[in-house]
Structure 1
Amino acid sequence: MSHEHQHHDDQHGHSGHAGHGDHVAQFRRLFWIMLVIAVPVIGFSAMFAMLLGYSLPAQGWVAWVSPLLGTLMYVWGGKPFLTGAVTELRARQPGMMLLIALAITVAYFASLGASLGLLDHQLDFWWELALLIVIMLLGHWIEMRALAQTTSALDSLAALLPDEAERVEGDSTVTVAPADLRIGDVVVVRPGGRVPADGAVVSGAASMDESMITGESRTVRRSEGDAVVAGTVATDSGLRIRISAVGDDTALAGISRLVAEAQNSSSRAQRIADRAAGWLFWFALGAGILTAIVWTLIGLPDEAVVRTITVLVIACPHALGLAIPLVVSIATERAAKGGVLVKDRLALEGMRTVDTVLFDKTGTLTTGRPQVVGIHSAPGTDDDQLLALAAAAESDSEHPLARAIVSAAHDRGLVVASASDFASSPAVGVTATVDGRRIRVGGPRLLEEEGVSAISDPDADASTVLHVVADGTVLGSLRLSDTVRPESREAVDALRALHVQVVMITGDAEAVAAAVAAELGIDRYFAGVRPEDKAHAVRTLQAEGRRVAMVGDGVNDAPALAQADVGIAIGAGTDVAIASAGVILAGDDPRSVVSVIDLSRATYRKMTQNLWWAAGYNLLSVPLAAGVLAPIGFVLPMSVGAILMSLSTIVVALNAQLLRRLDVSPEASVRRALGHSASARSSTPASDRELARASR
């Protein structure tokens, strides 16, 4: 939030998005009231009448309309600027509000002096004063409305919760407010209804629309045992859900907090804008003093007042104060709607310069859910028998590999016998009694304990292999692999199209890492990396002069996320990983990384455009207002200066609003990246393309 916006909040006791909403109403009301009052002030202004060529009575009540109503406008309509100026003076941070207050104060007292006959009648600025206050209020109204709109992400997140929930009590349901739900309650979500709080499905299955949380447009099938999140919609059938989190503990509340933190966080670009506003203040003050001195020295003191006021009005860095916070706030909102939560605005700004993205393999590029991809049985044992025995032994284990084996047996429709005497040994495997036989399932260490050799499997190199041993005899082996996400290849291709190197890091063996890297088209990877060494891999890339974004989801990724120039946590990951990251992907789509880069670059372009427009306008217009072209007969009128100054604010606001048109969904970002790459290739002459291929 910029310095001046803090003043707004301080003056009126507002904070957050509610404050901006109140400011919109205040400035809208004040603008319309002042506009009505300004009409007679301008119409009965002697100077305005002279400019348009109509006459006013020299004596009587008419002569006091502009002074009386002008005083009302100065005191009432100018109050936001005057109080803002006092706040800036107390903080010893002169800026835009002080400049506006100075301009309207000088204009007011000059006009009052002219009306009372104490000063030259040419200093009758009532119409300029009225016009200035009205235009400034209009600019502030537009600014506050724009700032209020940037909080619509928070408003829309809050609106995702239903107004009421149906809680199951005995054989009936009771309608209650979501706030009255408690952990353990069972609620009914009807077709088309929204989930009132986080929980797990206890009965039913439905296609869930989770786009408002994850940014993913496709529905996701959720059935018994699956977790569901508050705010998501059951599109086709009803569910019964047991509540696991309520109120501030829900994922939706967490997302709201992250969006609010991001919108309130400071940023490097904002600090640059604040410094620029400070420089412009001294530039304006110096220009005003120099203008007053020069015009006075050449014998035109009245013109010195006019020129000085005009300089002070035009030099107000109003547009500059709006240039950065508005763009970044809109970018934060757009990101949230695309399932990208910006916890630290510096991370969003930094993504545009990232040239290397380091992906943790498991749970990021892959699903993190292993599947049985091959069965290799010994002679005399068929595949189904081997899988059924392994599933029986593993049925009491919670390990992901065990669940994959049991799931594979169920998928084949096999009968899985009951097991007894279950025991598990870390890094070795499991042991259980199945139909009177001692069945063991595990890796190489299990074979060492049993003193037996594995059955040769030529396809085992790129997979995790678990051996099945019955009463000391090897019956065969199961190959399991973590499946690659279907979106991962698109993410890798799009990042390369953006000239970003993709690197993979994993604790898996070299062969497993090589297979996944080959499938995804990744040229460089770190394999066999222990959790504590992941941060070292980031430092290795940084030592090569690379700006690194690390993408991970686990506890062991937290040090690497913190070490990276930008840490990106998969939202489905752990709290530790999320706390270490500057950007959080609400879903688990790796293509969202492309969205972050896309949004970061678009945001930087808008900020640059706004800074050039705001600062460039001031630097060009101040000399014109001071009268540098007066020798050739051109001086910038105060009224035109006021109009142009407010127009610059409106241009900056409208330019920032264009960022809302950017579709930051993963699909759209990937399409743009690949489209740009294709168009760049097609625009390269054939001879150049051949030369490029030859150089590679």
Structure 2
Amino acid sequence: MSTATANGVANDIASDVRNSNNKSMGAMLIKSLPDALRKFDPRNMWHNPVMFIVWVGAAFLTLLGIGQLFAPAELSQGQPVYFTWIIAIVLWFTVLFANLAEAVAEGRGKAQADALRKTRTTTPAHRVVCYDEENDPDVRGPEKGEGPSSIVEVPSSDLKLGDVVVVEAGDLIPGDGDIISGIASVDESAITGESAPVIRESGGDRSAVTGGTRVLSDRIVVRITQKPGESFVDKMIALVEGANRQKTPNEIALDVLLSSLTIIFLIVVLCINPQASAVGASVSLTVLIALLVCLIPTTIGALLSAIGIAGMDRLVQRNVLATSGRAIEAAGDVTTLLLDKTGTITYGNRQASNFHALPGVDHDEIVRAAALSSLADSTPEGQSIVDLARKEGMELKDIPGAIAVPFTAETRMSGLDLPTGERIRKGATSAIEHWVAEEGSGVGQEILDAMHDRVESVSNAGGTPLVVAEQDASGVVKILGVVQLKDVVKEGLRERFADMRAMGIRTVMVTGDNPLTAAAIAKEAGVDDFIAEAKPEDKLAYIKKEQAKGQLVAMTGDGTNDAPALAQSDVGVAMNSGTSAAKEAGNMVDLDSDPTKLIDIVQIGKQLLITRGALTTFSIANDIAKYFAIIPAMFMEQFPGLGVLNLMGLHSSLSAVLSAIIFNAIIIVLLIPLALKGVKYRAESSEKILGRNLSIYGLGGIVAPFVGIWIIDLFVRLIPGF
């Protein structure tokens, strides 16, 4: 597969998602019709108890209708022969519409799965025989001569867990794995849809690579971490197609509730005929089956699976892969969010925001010294100091003969040595203090106290202080002041955190900063709590503490050291750019590696639960309304007194039953778009959401049957014999 093909695959995925969203519902229903018809198999239907009852009723009435063709007098029970056939046909359509809802939801993921399959080609893999880690640079193929380790070419499908392969520029990575040697630029557009290449290297949190992606430069040695058929792409294909979708605990509980209601209504309907016979009346089997289908919760029974599949589909459209519907559902119930500061709450590139001169130091003096010490500093922080100095009017030029002193982890400072003998240093407070003490200039305690005051003031404001000092040609050292670096909080996050708070979700910022800096940024961002100077074990301990209180916790991570916390959390979102250990530990993978997407994931989970609750409310309200709408009309001929309760003026018992059964089928089709798109999400408390559901979907579920059945009855009464 060429690079152009890989990019084309990513574009296909994005295009298919857009096209599936833009297609009319009619076109989507027609396209999904063959899949819906295949679902009529009773071995498939029995997994949905409510719709299975409808299937059994339709099959029974079909057989009864065939019998009526040969013995109409004995089996029709005084009703038109075609009445049974009409009811049977409507029931078959009811089952079809339920299957269509699920087929349409599943069909939206098939285009994505087909596009992903294009990346799962059998490619040649250069497997290392007897890999010698110490002599890795000498790994060579037979054509280059034998070495400590040799390479053989095998199909990627023959690779086993633990095999080591060499991938060079232009090669496709043959399987999921971790880089154990080397660094390379990798094109991951076939998986993520992002055309910009990414850097992957050994020994860090960016060591994981995915099969089907392409190395653009350099050479890497990869250890395969997945068995054949269990790669990341294989899992994605299975999940977006719904092949591995299992019912969530809430779905199972709702299934039990719906099954219980179905059994109750089944018993009620079975008791109607004996009671009617006691007063000299009778009800035909056709009418009883139609009544049963009208009363059981067919609406939510038909749409329940589609709601869950659509929730997973919405995640896939946002480039998030969930390992199960359980993870999405858990996201909707989350009460605590753990968010890393850098890259999630802040942009992560600290910028110089102010120069603070110490007493007796001219402002221009510290600006000049800070800028000169940063001229050779290629870091974003160093360049931001130069930019800020220029904004303040400082003219800066390269100084011939000056020697740049680079930043190192040991010294924790950088600077510039001028040809005049002047030396300038900027860095962490303790590092500059140590440098000043070593030079033995005897800086007074008053100056040190002033410096500490400035440092504390910057930290309290949420900034990072860098102290600037200089040594003149005569050897006298002077502390000039403090540069304030500010980690910029992302726009709009404060409002989003306020929305989370309105839903009862607590936000917690995790950072390695000191408590003063962490507190200032937490206040600016609007989070509820923070963990400062956090270590991996601190995250794990905090999650366990929250869960012990009965809270559900979500977090993001990308490193191997995040794996324990990701595994412990109820919703663990691993970054695709992270290690294999992190992706295995989490129950979701963000293909874009955007930590802020955790907030979107929670909102999608909430929308899934809200949609399910709204349609369940509508369905149960429907059943109650249909009961009071058609029961009086059904028996008003045997019991004329019930005619008073026939508020809609339905024409006859037969027209009432047929109108109700037609409405029951049509309402499923009308609600498919809502099940797929989801109820509009609003950041509100559970009480407000429940109140809205009851007022809109509860009241709507009661009113809709009365109006719908009445309108349908106006047409049904025109059928001869009704």
2:109 is aligned to 154
**Pairing partner for 1:329 from 294, 309, 320:** 309
For 2:274 and 2:598, the matched residues in 1 are separated by: 57
The residue aligned with 1:631 is 639
SS of match in other structure, 1:484: coil
Instruction: Say if 1:420 and 1:466 are closer, same or farther in 2 by CA, change over 3 A.
Output: closer
Cα distance in 1, alignment partners of residues 65 and 92 from structure 2? 21
What CA distance in whole angstroms lies between the structure 2 residues aligned with 1:356 and 1:331?
21
- Give the 4+ runs in structure 1 shifted more than 6 A: 20-23, 161-165, 197-204, 219-231, 239-254, 372-381, 405-424, 430-442, 447-450, 466-479
CA 504–326 in structure 1, closer or farther in 2 if over 3 Å, else same = same
Name 1:525's counterpart in structure 2.
Answer: 530
Cα 1:557/1:276, change in 2 over 3 Å: same
Contact 1:488-1:520 within 8 A present in 2 as well: yes
Match of residue 86 from structure 2 = 131
The unaligned stretches of length 5 or more in structure 1 are 1-19, 31-78, 168-177, 189-196, 232-238, 392-402, 675-696
d(CA) in 1 for partners of 2:75, 2:550:
67
Aligned partner (choices 112, 117, 122) of residue 67 of structure 2: 112
Check if 1:365 corresponds to 2:365.
no
Kindly indicate whether residue 552 of structure 2 is the aligned counterpart of residue 537 of structure 1: no
Write out per-residue CA displacement over residues 477-523 of structure 1, whole angstroms, 9 at most, x where no aligned residue: 88766543445445335435656443323232012212322332345
User: Which one is further off, 531-540 or 375-384?
Assistant: 375-384
Aligned to 1:595: 600
Who is 2:374 aligned against?
387
CA distance in 2, matches of 1:260, 1:435: 66
Counterpart of 1:151 in structure 2: which amino acid?
E
Partner Cα separation in structure 2 for residue 339 and residue 326 of structure 1: 20
Summarize the alignment of residues 107-256 of structure 1 with structure 2, pairs less than 5 Å apart: 108-109=63-64, 112=67, 115-116=70-71, 119=74, 122=77, 126-158=81-113, 184=167, 213=192, 256=237
Q: For 1:272, which of 219, 241, 253 is the aligned residue?
A: 253
> Structure 1 480/261 Cα, relative in aligned 2: closer, same or farther at 3 Å?
farther
Gap change, CA 1:390 and 1:124, over 3 Å in 2:
closer
Cα drift, residue 346 of structure 1: 3.6
Structure 1 partner of 2:508: 503
Distance 2:347 2:406 in 1: 32
1:541-580 deviation line (CA, Å, top 9, x unaligned): 5667765544555444444445555444555555444444
Report the alpha carbon displacement of residue 533 of structure 1 after superposing the two structures with TM. Answer: 1.7
Please give the alpha-carbon distance, in whole angstroms, between the structure 2 residues aligned to 1:224 and 1:121. 76
Conserved 8 A contact 1:96-1:317: no
Q: Separation in 2 of the partners of 1:249 and 1:385?
A: 55
Cα offset, 1:611, TM superposition: 1.7
The answer (yes or no) to whether the contact 1:510–1:528 under 8 Å persists in 2 is: yes
Cα deviation per residue 1:381-418 (whole Å; 9 max; x = unaligned)?
93355336777xxxxxxxxxxx6568779999979999
Report the AA paired with residue 271 of structure 2: L
| Whole-angstrom distance in 1 between the partners of 2:117 and 2:71 | 64
TM-score by length of structure 1 reads 0.59
Structure 1 CA distance, aligned partners of 2:333 and 2:520?
30
Indicate the residue corresponding to 2:521 in structure 1: 516
Between the aligned partners of 2:189 and 2:269, the Cα distance in structure 1 is: 60
Task: Check conservation: 2:536, 2:565, Cα contact below 8 A.
Answer: no
Measure, in 2, the Cα distance between the counterparts of 1:663 and 1:136: 27
Q: Cα gap change, 1:285/1:148 in structure 2, threshold over 3 Å: closer, same or farther?
A: closer
Counterpart amino acid of 1:648? N
Give 1:264 shift: 0.8
1:284 aligns with 2:265: yes
Q: Does the Cα contact within 8 Å between 2:61 and 2:88 map onto a contact in 1?
A: no
After superposition, where does 1:398-417 map in structure 2 within 5 Å? none
Aligned residues between the structures = 553
Decide which moves more: 146-155 or 254-263: 254-263
1:644 to 2:660 alignment: yes
Code of the aligned partner of 2:523? A
Matched, 1:610 2:626: no
For residue 673 of structure 2, the aligned residue among 627, 651, 657 is 657
Structure 2 CA distance for partners of 1:108 and 1:149, relative to 1, 3 Å = closer
Task: Indicate how the Cα distance of structure 1 residues 589 and 647 shifts in structure 2: closer, same or farther if over 3 A, else same.
Answer: farther
Structure 1 position 148, deviation (Å): 2.7
In 1, the alpha carbon distance for the partners of 2:635 and 2:337 equals: 53
Greater alpha carbon shift after TM alignment, 469-478 vs 588-597: 469-478
Mapped contact 1:551–1:567 kept (Cα < 8 A): yes
Query: Are 1:484 and 2:489 an aligned pair?
Result: yes
Separation of aligned partners in 2, 1:360 and 1:540: 18
Kept in 1: contact 2:303–2:675 (CA 8 A): no
Question: Which digits, 9 at most, give the CA deviation of each residue in 1:104-158, with x for residues without a partner?
Answer: 4266347626733782653677523432343233333333333233235533434
Which residue identity does 1:536 align to in structure 2?
A
RMSD: 6.2
What is the CA–CA distance in structure 1 between the aligned matches of 2:602 and 2:65, rounded to whole Å?
53
After superposition, the Cα gap between the structure-2 partners of 1:222 and 1:562, relative to the gap in structure 1 and judged at 3 Å, is closer
Q: Does 1:24 align with 2:5?
A: no
Question: 1:260, 1:413 → 2: CA distance?
Answer: 61
CA distance in 1, matches of 2:371, 2:235: 46
1:463 offset after TM fit, Å?
4.8
1:121 and 1:482 mapped to 2: Cα distance?
A: 80
How far 1:525 sits from its partner (Å)? 2.4
Contact in 2 for aligned 1:442/1:466 (Cα 8 Å): yes
Asked whether the equivalents of residues 340 and 585 of structure 1 are also in contact (C-alpha less than 8 Å), the reply is: yes
Matching residue's letter, 2:253: I
1:294 CA drift (Å): 2.1
Seen in structure 2, the aligned counterparts of structure 1 residues 333 and 243 have a Cα distance that, compared at 3 Å, is farther
1:643 Cα offset (Å): 5.5
Q: SS of 1:382's equivalent?
A: helix
Q: Percent identity?
A: 20
Distance 1:612 1:521, change over 3 A: closer
Cα gap change, 1:357/1:405 in structure 2, threshold over 3 Å: closer, same or farther? closer
Gap change, CA 1:642 and 1:589, over 3 Å in 2? farther
Structure 1 counterpart of 2:373, one-letter code: L
CA distances 1:247-271 after superposition (whole Å, capped 9, x unpaired): 9899877655654579713223321
Q: Unaligned regions of 5+ residues in structure 2, if any? A: 1-28, 124-155, 158-164, 388-395, 644-649, 685-722
The 2-side partners of 1:126 and 1:291 are apart by 22
SS in 2 for 1:525: strand
Q: Within 2, Cα distance between the matches of 1:596 and 1:120?
A: 56
| Aligned-partner Cα distance in 2 for 1:22–1:221 | 35
Q: Residue type matched to 1:337 in 2? A: Q
Aligned equivalents of 2:509, 2:407: Cα separation in 1: 37
Check if 1:320 corresponds to 2:300. yes
- 1:63 is matched with none
Query: Is 1:308–2:312 an aligned residue pair?
Result: no
Aligned to 2:328: 348
